[in-house]
Amino acid sequence: MRVAIVGATGAVGHELLRVLESSTLKLDELQLYASPRSAGLKLPFAGQELTVRATPEGAIDADVILASAGGSISKEKAPAWVAGGSLVIDNSSAFRYEPDVPLVVPEVNGDAALRHKGIIANPNCTTAIAVVAVAPLHRAYGVRRMIVSTYQATSGAGQKGIEELLEGTRVELAGGQPEAEVFAYPMPFNVIPHIDAFQDNGYTKEEMKVVWETRKILGDESLSISCTAVRIPTLRTHSEAITLELERPATPEEARELLRHSAGVEVRDDPAARLYPMPLTATRKYDVEVGRIRASLVFDGGLELFVAGDQLLKGAALNAVQIAEYLQEKGALRGRVSG
């Protein structure tokens, strides 16, 4: 397989390199692309140094293109990549809602990836993390309503988000006024209930992505979902409080047992031993931590849970590579089909 990363110098690009190093993909060649500003930069990969190139106009000579340079680049360039015969696994939101583009979390709906027409979309990070925990419960008990509140790290806004928090914290601790460019307000010691643009219905686009994408991945347009998405001053890993109303009642013990045997999940749920999901423990972990599982006090037979997942991994780079690995396992990852 010849693989290309577009956006190799970004926060997700960096993780793609690390995940590919330990991937089961049969990698013959890895090409790295970013903006012209990064051309010539060398990045380490598997004991070698690979040179970053400016993303070309038109097709790229690779079997699989992992795109994470943002929605506008994907929208502009992916059609030419597909026309050139490459499979595009896209991290942006550019194609997620198109009916003929599968939106895939392999543990949940891997088979959807087999029906791609050149582009497979990787979900929004908050959604990917939530569905890893919610899908097994949905299959077993039928989720009727789902209410999500998020605690999202600054790296969700890319490398610039990380830098703005670190620099702002230094400025604030030195008695100065931190600046806000990436975020709507200074991020240090703050909590901002505003991620992505506000929509006509009063929700943000980030919140609506959770609604639209969870329904698409679970294949259930009747699901009632609402979300409040909040940025917090952490560097990495998104956490989410999730309330579920279920068709068939589940006890916390049943849910814990089910999730213990679910792919991509680590049950971390022993409050007496202070064991619960946190960015501190979930960061750089492939599995999503799930804990604080308890009976809902609002919905009879429903559940409350708390999840923490490394959004640069399961919410982005890891999931993208897992999609390619899934296709490889199914014998559905072929070389370029046309020139």
Give contact residues for ligand A2P (rule: CB under 6 A).
7-11, 13, 34-35, 37-38, 55, 69-70, 73, 158-160
Q: How far is the CB of 57 from ligand A2P (least distance, A)?
A: 10
Known catalytic residue: 227?
no
Taking the alpha carbons at both ends of the chain, their separation in whole angstroms is 16
Q: How far is the CB of 134 from ligand A2P (least distance, A)?
A: 26
Which of 196/254 has CB closer to ligand A2P?
196
Q: Please state, in angstroms and rounded to a whole number, the distance separating the CA atoms of residues 133 and 324.
A: 22
Which of 65/259 has CB closer to ligand A2P?
65
Q: How far is the CB of 22 from ligand A2P (least distance, A)?
A: 21
* Residue 309, SS3 per DSSP: strand
Known catalytic residue: 238?
yes
Question: Which residue has its beta carbon closest to ligand A2P?
Answer: 10
Which of 245/310 has CB closer to ligand A2P?
310
330-338 long-range Cβ contacts below 8 angstroms, 24+ apart: 330/114, 332/113, 332/114, 333/1, 333/63, 333/64, 333/87, 334/63, 335/1, 335/2, 335/63, 336/61, 336/62, 336/63, 336/84, 336/85, 336/86, 337/85, 338/83, 338/84, 338/85
Q: How far is the CB of 254 from ligand A2P (least distance, A)?
A: 40
Q: Please state, in angstroms and rounded to a whole number, the distance separating the CA atoms of residues 95 and 102.
A: 9
Q: Which residues of 188-209 are buried (b: 16+ CB within 10 A; e: fewer)?
A: bebebeebbeeeeeebbebbbb
Q: Which of 14, 116, 138, 238 is catalytic?
A: 238
Which of 34/229 has CB closer to ligand A2P?
34
* Residue 15, SS3 per DSSP: helix
Which of 159/226 has CB closer to ligand A2P?
159
Contact 263, 271 (CB under 8 A): no
Q: Which of 14, 125, 138, 227 is catalytic?
A: 125
| Secondary-structure percent of the chain, ordered helix, strand, coil, rounded to 5 | 35, 25, 40
Q: Which of 286, 233, 290 is nearest to 23 (CA)?
A: 286
Q: How far is the CB of 15 from ligand A2P (least distance, A)?
A: 10
Q: How far is the CB of 10 from ligand A2P (least distance, A)?
A: 2
Which of 35/281 has CB closer to ligand A2P?
35
Q: Please state, in angstroms and rounded to a whole number, the distance separating the CA atoms of residues 76 and 80.
A: 8
Residues taking part in catalysis: 125, 238
